[in-house]
Structure 1
Amino acid sequence: MWMHATCYLEFNTPVATPFLFMLRPRSGWQQWVSREQYVLTPSVPVVEFTDTFGNLCQRLVAPAGRFSVHTSVDIETAEASDTAAGAHFVEVQQLPDDTLPFLLPSRFCEADRFSEMAASIVTGWAPGYDQCTAIVDYIRQTKRYAPGTGQEINSACEVNERHQAVCRDMAHLGIACCRALSIPARMVVGYFEHLQPMDLHAWFEAYVGGRWYTFDPTQGDHQGGRVAIAYGRDAADVAIYTQFGDPVELLRMDVAVERMDEPSY
């Protein structure tokens, strides 16, 4: 399927302010970028680099006053996320090197504090994909998805003590539990066509059966097109923008996602 996604950010910057943005999805085996646009108003010099997780990052200094970023992308992606019930657990010594950072505790995913809890959740489930499914089911049963309520980032431990959470924080809990079972897990931020209210979305992927699979505690099934923008250990690695120095005001943020016909260009 083809999707068209846009993101508009507008800031009020009292003084010239350094920014780091992460707003460009990259092509991969699950998605293919056909056309994109990236407009800065006013126009300023930008340096782009690839971080340690392969994300496309844009570095710039916004001038004092109003500053906006408008991105759009036409992208081909799957109509539903792949599933693989029964996919096997990959022993740590057999994991690819690039999955190993996603086994370790991180700032918002304290995997070392979830060993007993994760083991109890997956009792009776086959090691691998089915254990990840059990973890997602547990999160859905114990946490109410409450979009728009989480201004501060919560760690997995903090989420575990609450009854409701946003997508980002629910992903933190799922990641921590997977890592506690020696299953690599990473956070993903991107677009999801069925999200209501529309916004950027967060979910997680776990490495089982020799590849990464999508898991989303906020959604009841795997239907719907997804566009991944950034991957990381937790929310600290996948912020769509990071501002340095004196605080700035985010005046406006608009996200839109819709299906489109296959482009003829």
Structure 2
Amino acid sequence: MWLRVTSELDMHLTAASPMLLLLRPRSDAHQWVAADRYRVTPDIDVAEYTDRHGNLCQRLMAPAGPFSIHVSADVRIRPEPVHVTDALFVPVEQLPDDVLVYLLPSRFCEADRLGRKAWEIVGGCRPGHEQVTAISRWIHSHIEYRTETDPTPISASEVLARGSGVCRDLAHLGMALCRSLSIPARITAGYVHDLEPMDLHAWFEAWVGGRWHTFDPTQARPGNRRVRLAYGRDAADVPLYHLFGPPAIPTRMEVSVETLTPAG
């Protein structure tokens, strides 16, 4: 399936400030980016680099005053299997080197504090995909999903105590619970087709059965029409933008996801 994803972000800066952006999708095992368009206004120099998670990051000096970012990409996605029954737990000693980092506690995922809760949720489940499915369903049933934007991330323990959160917060809780069971888990930011209300979204992936599998505790029946923007240990690794200066004043943000029928 082909999707066209678009983000338009307008803001006002009170002072010229260095900025990092994570708004350009990359091709990987899940998707192929056939074309993309990237524009900032005013027209200034932008440098790009790849971070340790493989994300395409843009680095620039944003000027004071009005500043706009427009990103659009045509992406061919590979739908994931909806039902997986044979993705079993991978022992830590057999994990690939680059996956090990997603086992460790992080700022927003206190895996070392949630082991008892995790075992309570997955009791009787077969180690692996079945356990992660139980965790995602438990979060969906017990944690209220709020769609309004909250600029301040909270940790998994705080989500559990509050009983509510935005998509990013529910992902943090799912990841922390998985890691407490020695299942690698990473946050994923991106686009979801037919998301209501439409916005950029966050979910998590868990490493079971020798590959990454998608889990989205905000959805009763998670769809598989997704375009990935960035991966990380938690939300600190996948901000849409990070400004090293006075806070920006957002004035407009529009996100769209539409299906395409390629010519020929």
2:249 match:
249
> What is the deviation of 1:224?
4.0
Q: Which residue number corresponds to residue 219 of structure 2?
A: 219
1:47-76 deviation per Cα after TM superposition (whole angstroms, max 9, x unaligned): 100000000000001111111010000000
Q: What's the secondary structure of 1:23's corresponding residue?
A: coil
Residue 196 of structure 1: aligned partner: 196
Which AA in structure 2 matches 1:32? W
115 and 68 in structure 1: CA distance in 2 versus 1, 3 angstrom threshold: same
Q: Which residue identity lines up with residue 49 of structure 1 in the other structure? A: Y
- State the alpha-carbon separation in 2 of the partners of residues 101 and 194 from structure 1: 32
Amino acid at match of 1:96: P
Which residue is equivalent to 1:44? 44
CA distance in 1: counterparts of 2:224 and 2:37, whole angstroms: 24
CA distance in 2, matches of 1:11, 1:263: 36
Gaps of 5+ in 2: none
Cα pair distance change 1:41/1:149, threshold 3 Å = closer
Match of 1:237 in 2: 237
Aligned-pair RMSD on alpha carbons? 1.2
> Is contact 2:178–2:206 with CA below 8 Å preserved after alignment?
yes
Q: What is the percent sequence identity of the aligned residues?
A: 52
Letter in 1 for 2:175: I
Deviation at 1:149, TM superposition (A): 4.9
Which residue of the partner structure matches residue 31 of structure 1?
31
**CA distance, structure 1, for counterparts of residue 157 and residue 189 of structure 2:** 21
Task: Name the SS of the counterpart of 1:161 in structure 2.
Answer: helix
What is the TM-score of this pair, normalised by structure 2? 0.97
Q: 1:225 to 1:81 in 2, by over 3 A?
A: farther
Residue 141 of structure 1: how far off its partner (Å)? 1.2
The letter of the residue matching 1:247 is P
Please state whether the residue corresponding to 2:23 is helix, strand or coil.
Answer: strand
Question: Could you tell me which residue of structure 2 aligns to residue 136 of structure 1?
Answer: 136
Query: How many equivalent pairs are there?
Result: 264
Gaps of 5+ in 1: none
1:1-59 per-residue CA deviation (whole Å, 9 max, x = no partner) reads 10011001111112211110001110011100011000111111111000000000000
TM-score by length of 1: 0.97
Matches within 5 A, 1:87-166: 87-166=87-166
